Amino acid sequence: MMPISDPGIYRQYGFTLVEILIVLLVVGVATAVVAANISPDNRQAAKMEAARLADLLEATTEDAQDRLQTIAWSERNNAYSFWRKAEDGSWQPITDDDLYRNRVLGNGVGFVQVKVGGALLPEGGRMVFHPSGVNRPFEITLERNGSRSVISSDALNRISVR
């Protein structure tokens, strides 16, 4: 007679459907949490881009004075560029300095308006930073899905983000 195997000794291979569903649920929740933290909300995205641009404009103000050069900033299609005034009076794009490379606003943020000296900057216009340090106050408004941030300067070249 052959021995019958003990029914209590049963080896299980693989996973049950319930175990697989629990793992998928945990992975789904973790993915949602990571995605929510990676993608900034509208207000935060606009403020981050405004802070980044404000830092660059502050550096531009200082560089114009330190290097005794006239430097300009312009925006077009949610991108912006920096320019240097050549000896012949023409504007040349700055290509030899990584700080002043052409940039595109990120995270779905866009320009709403740019005012210099209280007037709207015309299409293709430039905001100029003089070596004398005497610059016209400006106000740059950025927006993402209705949430706005404003970069502004005063007559003393103090730049702030609100």
Residue 155 lies in a domain: yes
Number of domains in the chain: 1
SS3 content of the chain, % helix, strand, coil (to 5): 30, 30, 40
Query: Looking at the domain assignment, is residue 109 inside a domain?
Result: yes
| Residue owning tokens 């660059």 | 56
Q: How does residue 129 score in pLDDT terms, banded at 50, 70 and 90? A: very high
The answer to whether residue 104 sits within a structural domain is: yes
For residue 114, pLDDT beyond 70 = yes
Model confidence at 131: pLDDT above 60: yes
- 14: confidence class by pLDDT, cuts 50, 70, 90: confident
Provide the residue range defining the domain that includes 145: 42-161
In this predicted structure, what is the pLDDT of residue 13?
A: 77
Q: CB–CB of 138/152 below 8 Å?
A: yes
The answer to whether residue 94 is domain-embedded is yes
Label residue 136 by pLDDT band (50, 70, 90). Answer: very high
Residue 8 forms part of a structural domain: no
* Residue 23 belongs to some domain of the structure: no
* C-alpha angle 140-107-154 in degrees, rounded to nearest 5: 15
Q: Is the pLDDT score of 56 beyond 70?
A: yes
Q: Per-residue pLDDT for 122 more than 80?
A: yes
Q: What is the mean pLDDT of residues 4-23?
A: 74
Span 83-87, average pLDDT: 96
49 in the Ramachandran plot: left (φ > 0), alpha (ψ -120 to 50) or beta? alpha
In a domain, 136, yes or no: yes
Q: Is 103 left (phi over 0), alpha (psi -120 to 50) or beta?
A: beta
DSSP tag of 154 = -
Classify residue 36: in a domain, yes or no: no
* Mean pLDDT for the stretch of residues 60-70: 96
Q: Please tell me the distance from the alpha carbon of residue 80 to that of residue 105, in angstroms, as a whole number.
A: 8
Q: What is the CATH number of the domain that holds 82?
A: 3.55.40.10
Measure CA 162 to chain center: 15
pLDDT of 144 strictly over 90: yes
What local confidence, expressed as pLDDT, does residue 4 receive?
A: 59
Round the average pLDDT of the chain to a whole number and report it.
90
